[in-house]
Amino acid sequence: MDDMGDDDLDDDLARELVRLLRHVAERKQESGGELVALLDEHLGRTAADCTIVTDRIQPWRLVDADVALGALDEEAGLVGVTVPRGYDGDLRGLLRGRGSGVGLGPVDYSSVPVGPGRERRVMSSGVRLMTYDRSPVVVLQRAADPDWGRRTATMEIIGADAAVVDAFRADVRRLMVERSVLRGQVISFSGGGFDEELGGIVFAERPAVHADEVILPDGVLARLRRHVSGVAEHRERLLAAGQHLKRGILLHGPPGTGKTHTVRHLVGRADGVTVLLLSGSSMRSVREASRLARALEPSMIVLEDCDLIAEDRGMGGGGELLFELLEALDGMDGDADVAFVLTTNRPDLLERALTRRPGRIDLAIEVPLPDEAARARLFGLYAAGLGLSDGVLAEAAARAEGVTASFAKELVRRAVLLAAVAGEDLADAHLTAALDELLDDREALTRSLLGSGARATVDQGPGAGSDGGWLAYADDHADDLDDDEGESGSSWTMRWD
């Protein structure tokens, strides 16, 4: 008897369940019908019979599409659609009722970083009922969903008139480039670069390194600035005289002498210029970066520690990357306002390749170890305001033969530390003691790690293979920035999950 009762119960449950499912299915059908009716009404004819074009866009460019579509018709009606996760068909399929579960719902948004510390709400699933050139156009905008195998975002455009759809698409594409959120920003790629699946883009604060903080031999900074920003400033005259704008600059010299520091200064001055920073494994993206640089000009591509490209360890092998770099330098149109800035402490590894195809690099500048006068200026810079005497700084500069600029920084830090540990106010004696320590043979490795030029026993300087110290610097020095930009979250990873 008991068994029978359970069976009845099961039957009842099953019946209820079937009824519920049917109800849900009908509701969905209804709301799917509502969606179709809405599109038909906006288009003034059966949507399924109209021209439908599907544009696949890289996930990280959906935000640009969102901006462009928003700009094309600010008045557009936005309608939320629910598309079943994992549905891999297109809009026509949905309109013909093949995607069961499609229907009206809330407009879905996701928040996407569009600059250091800035985000934008981007429609991740929804329909825009637009008017373009006085014709009705409908766009279904959907974000990528890599977990469900949807690797790209899509923009599906329906219009009654095929010519209007074509013109509309061209306009969207144009605006996506013109108003790209990447334009004028300092960005780097987290390894995967432009890879559709990873698409990691990091926005960095534009560095603020004043010319007074860059200690280089006389005239070096002026030449660099003339080549990097002077060309941009005199663009019209150069073009009128038939001269090209594209330029390649190589900064070479021992580790720790200020190549990265100098580039940060140049980037800091280049307000409004798009800067693409490639280092370590993201150098794989050099070709894509040059395309982007071309589209977003004026721009600068910084290749930090580019000898890694020549060595090509674990990055494709076989010198392909070096070849790609040369192609990128070569392939860029002459009238593109794009500056390639390369840094390396192993110019020997690149020289052969670069001299074999001359003209790619038009300015090679050595950043040498500081001489005594430069060391005195460096010690003065890093000990500024600490109350040390000019005499002791001059003496330190004289003794610290062969050290680097980064050594100067560490020396002052050591002196401050020695004073702090001893519970004393900083005095000249602490600097002398710190210098004794650092010049001691037992600290040969420290010197080497700080970058000590010819005496270096470590092949690559600190930071080689990472981001060249850029982003680390941005975080370390967040306090150094002006108050209004002093947020510590100075870099942002563009994630698409």
Ligand X SMILES: Nc1ncnc2c1ncn2[C@@H]1O[C@H](COP(=O)(O)OP(=O)(O)OP(=O)(O)O)[C@@H](O)[C@H]1O
Q: List residues binding ligand X (CB under 6 A).
A: 213-216, 255-261, 305, 345, 378, 405-406, 409, 451, 461-463, 468-469
The item of ligand X, Mg ion, none sharing an interface with residue 124, based on CB under 5 to 8 Å by kind, is none
Minimum CB–partner distance for residue 81 and ligand X (Å): 50
Distance (Å, rounded) from C-alpha 474 to C-alpha 476?
A: 6
Task: Indicate the residue among 13 and 445 with the shorter CB distance to ligand X.
Answer: 445
In Å, how far are 186, 292, 360, 395, 496 from 341, measured between CA atoms? 14, 16, 11, 36, 30
Q: Give the one entry of ligand X, Mg ion, none that residue 255 binds, where binding means its C-beta sits below a cut-off of 5 to 8 angstroms depending on kind.
A: ligand X
Nearer to ligand X, 306 or 426 (CB): 306
206 vs 259 by CB, closer to Mg ion: 259
User: Phi-psi bin for 18: left (phi > 0), alpha (psi -120 to 50), beta?
Assistant: alpha
The partner in contact with residue 32, picked from Mg ion, ligand X, none with C-beta cut-offs of 5 to 8 angstroms by kind, is none
Write out the DSSP string of 191-259. SSTT-TTT--EEEEPPP---GGG---STTHHHHHHIIIIIHHHTHHHHHHTT----EEEEEE-STTSSH
- Which residue intervals of 59-192 are DSSP H helices? 62-72, 91-95, 162-178
Give residues 224-283 in contact with Mg ion (rule: CB under 5 A): 259-260
- Which partner, Mg ion, ligand X, none, binds residue 145 by CB below 5 to 8 Å per kind? none
Q: How far is the CB of 217 from ligand X (least distance, A)?
A: 9
d(CA 18, CA 155): 36
Binding partner selected for residue 216 from ligand X, Mg ion, none, CB under the kind-specific 5 to 8 Å limit: ligand X
Confirm if 142 and 125 have CB atoms less than 8 A apart: yes
Alpha-carbon Rg for the chain in angstroms: 30
Give the single-character DSSP code of 364.
Answer: E
Nearer to ligand X, 8 or 476 (CB): 476
Which residue's CB comes closest to Mg ion?
A: 260
Give the count of residues interacting with Mg ion (CB under 5 A). Answer: 3
Return the one option of ligand X, Mg ion, none that residue 405 interacts with (CB less than 5 to 8 A, by type). ligand X
Cα–Cα distance, 433 to 419 (Å, whole number)? 10
In whole angstroms, what is the distance from residue 52 CA to residue 41 CA? Answer: 16
CB-wise, 153 or 302, nearer to ligand X? Answer: 302
- 347 interface partner picked from ligand X, Mg ion, none, CB below 5 to 8 A per type: none
Report the alpha-carbon distance of residue 393 to residue 428 in Å, rounded. Answer: 8
In the complex, the smallest distance separating the C-beta of residue 175 from ligand X, rounded to whole angstroms, is 38
What is the C-alpha separation between 397 and 371, in angstroms, rounded? 9
Least distance (Å) from ligand X to the CB of residue 199?
A: 27
Q: Tokens for 324, please give them.
A: 């790609």
CB of 323 to Mg ion, least distance (A): 24
Residue 252 CB, nearest distance to Mg ion (Å)?
11
Cβ atoms of 290 and 301 within 8 Å: the answer is: yes
Of residues 159 and 468, the one with the C-beta less far from ligand X: 468
Task: For the CB of residue 254, give the shortest distance to ligand X in the complex, in Å.
Answer: 7
Report CA-CA distances (Å) from 363 to 229, 255, 339, 356: 13, 20, 11, 16
Closest distance of CB 450 from Mg ion, Å: 13
Residue span 308-347 as binding mask against Mg ion, x where in contact by CB under 5 A, dash where not: ----------------------------------------
- Residues forming the site for Mg ion (CB under 5 A): 259-260, 468
